[in-house]
Structure 1
């Protein structure tokens, strides 16, 4: 009796996995539906392009998501970073940590600005948002290693990353590197240091990206297994 139940549960598990794999690209809306434009600057740019506006007006549009807003304080990349910081659904705490991080970045850059001679001050970026964007861009990897089996042997094959995964790894590396510092410092203080270092192409996160690219370079002989 016990073996029969176990066998049935195994069949149901395999069926569920097959269904998940077969419907991983399923969407409520057909592929001809286009994404909504909810940012004011993007809408103004669309109005300037008459041909594009005409095409847009005759195409079915997906409804906007609940987190899509035209507020000038909304930023998609910062929203994602806040969600990656969040643990156990405590979004208020995650936002507080990010606000303190940006405040620390601003303080550090202002100290650097006033301690620098006037002729070099124009090269110092003071906006925490610009520094954050630069840090994420500098930490974004291009390749990753993927395990591919050929002839019973598993090879670590370098494959290009898609944009979403590369961006996720970049931000996740920044957060995990800051968390590995332990409890000696506040997370917001360490995050600020890591973001500033990454924006300057320095620090442990940049090293992690370069190490990954070196491993991909070392395994370039297996790159042809991607197409076999």
Structure 2
């Protein structure tokens, strides 16, 4: 009888323990860290801002989550470039995508150095940007749309209504358009070369992607009469 009681209560204690673990996982949102654990500060710039504002003392003794694999304090790390590599990636081949983006940056450097050495005056040389990452950031900023059209149904008719676009969505469309423009060119040219020329054109506020952004803005301007349907 005693052995049966041990088996019975032991089984129920195991079930209770299992249920408590499941409830704990649900409370934490499928995370190994409790909700009061803060995100790690791994960038030197963010740490300097916290030190200037005095907020660093508030989180000194607060439990911190472990940094992810792609979170590093290296000066060569660029979050926007990593995000762009993820957009270029297909079928999970991230190493291939990273190699393509790095090769396109090498082509940008080579093209800009050729322009730099061909320049005759010092002023022309100073106006030529050599750093591929600066060109990439400038290209993404120049291709960001400010408005986009969304269909809204009123009285059985769908109207294309211009609305402001969120910053993350604008950034995503900018990089997506750059990749699509590089892939739409002639197939005899390799993708890194096509992407390099598209980034250089976009950085100088010219090219196919900038034209696509301006065409979208013109469509929004043409449909501004329907802008009030956004709130009605």
Same fold at TM > 0.5? yes
- Could you tell me which residue of structure 2 aligns to residue 86 of structure 1? 89
- Could you tell me which residue of structure 2 aligns to residue 116 of structure 1? 119
- Could you tell me which residue of structure 2 aligns to residue 107 of structure 1? 110
- Could you tell me which residue of structure 1 aligns to residue 231 of structure 2? 227
Matches of 2:91 and 2:214 in 1, distance apart? 32
Residue-by-residue CA offset, 1:162-220 (whole Å, 9 max, x unaligned): 11110000000000011001411000000000000000000000000000000000000
The 1:146–1:56 alpha-carbon spacing in structure 2 relative to 1, beyond 3 Å, is: farther
The 1:60–1:133 alpha-carbon spacing in structure 2 relative to 1, beyond 3 Å, is: same
The 1:184–1:220 alpha-carbon spacing in structure 2 relative to 1, beyond 3 Å, is: same
Deviation at 1:105, TM superposition (A): 0.2
Deviation at 1:56, TM superposition (A): 4.5
Superposition map of 1:57-96 within 5 A:
57=60, 64-96=67-99
2:171 to 158, 164, 167: 167
Which runs of 5 or more residues in structure 2 are unaligned? 1-28
Superposition map of 1:1-228 within 5 A:
35-50=39-54, 52-57=55-60, 64-119=67-122, 120-228=124-232
List 4+ stretches of structure 1 deviating above 3 A. Answer: 26-36, 54-66
How many residues are matched?
A: 202
Which runs of 5 or more residues in structure 1 are unaligned? 1-25
Matches of 2:35 and 2:169 in 1, distance apart? 22
The 1:57–1:222 alpha-carbon spacing in structure 2 relative to 1, beyond 3 Å, is: farther
User: Which structure has the larger Rg over C-alpha atoms?
Assistant: 2
* Aligned-residue RMSD, C-alpha: 2.3
What TM-score comes out, normalization by structure 1 length?
A: 0.81
Matches of 1:60 and 1:193 in 2, distance apart? 47
